[in-house]
Amino acid sequence: MKSIKKAELALATFCAAAFLTITSCSKNKANTLYLYNWTYYTPEKVVEKFEAEFNCTVKLDSYATCEEMYSKLRAGAKGYDIVIPSNDFVSIMIKQGMLRPLDKSKLTNSEKINPRVLQMATHDPEMKYSVPYALSATGIMVNKTKAPTSDYSRDYDIFADKRFAGHATMMDDMREVFGDALLFLGFDANSLKDSDLDAAMNLVKEEWKPNLVKFDAEGFGKSFASGDFWLCQGYPEIVYGEVDESRWEETIDFFIPKEGGMASLDCMCILKDAPHYDLANEFINFIHRPENYALFIDQFRYPCVVNPAALEYVTTKPMYDPEQALNCTLKADLGDGIDKYSERWQEVRFGN
Contact, 277 vs 100, CB < 8 A?
Answer: yes
H or E stretch at 237: helix 236-240
Contact, 267 vs 85, CB < 8 A?
Answer: yes
Q: What CA–CA distance (Å, rounded) separates 203 from 285?
A: 45
CB atoms within 10 A of CB 12: 10
Which candidate, 234, 205, 229, 201, places its Cα nearest to that of 217?
Answer: 234
What is the SS3 assignment for 328? Answer: coil
Q: What CA–CA distance (Å, rounded) separates 261 from 161?
A: 19
Q: Is the dihedral of CA 172, 95, 264, 58 positive or negative?
A: negative
pLDDT of residue 224: 96
What is the SS3 assignment for 111? Answer: helix
Question: pLDDT tens digits for the chain (352 residues)?
Answer: 333 333 333 443 344 344 334 333 434 467 999 999 998 899 999 999 999 999 999 999 999 888 899 999 999 999 999 999 999 999 999 999 999 999 999 999 999 999 999 999 999 999 999 999 999 899 999 999 999 988 999 999 999 999 999 999 999 999 999 999 999 999 999 999 999 999 999 999 999 999 999 998 778 999 999 999 999 999 898 899 899 999 999 999 999 999 999 999 999 999 999 999 999 999 999 999 999 999 999 998 999 999 999 999 999 999 888 888 899 999 999 999 999 999 999 999 998 7
pTM: 0.83
CB atoms within 10 A of CB 331: 23
Rg over alpha carbons for the chain, rounded to the nearest Å, is 21
Taking the mean position of all CA atoms in its chain, how far away is CA 300? 13
Q: What CA–CA distance (Å, rounded) separates 142 from 128?
A: 40
Q: What CA–CA distance (Å, rounded) separates 59 from 76?
A: 19
Which candidate, 26, 123, 27, 41, places its Cα nearest to that of 82?
Answer: 41
Contact, 15 vs 72, CB < 8 A?
Answer: no
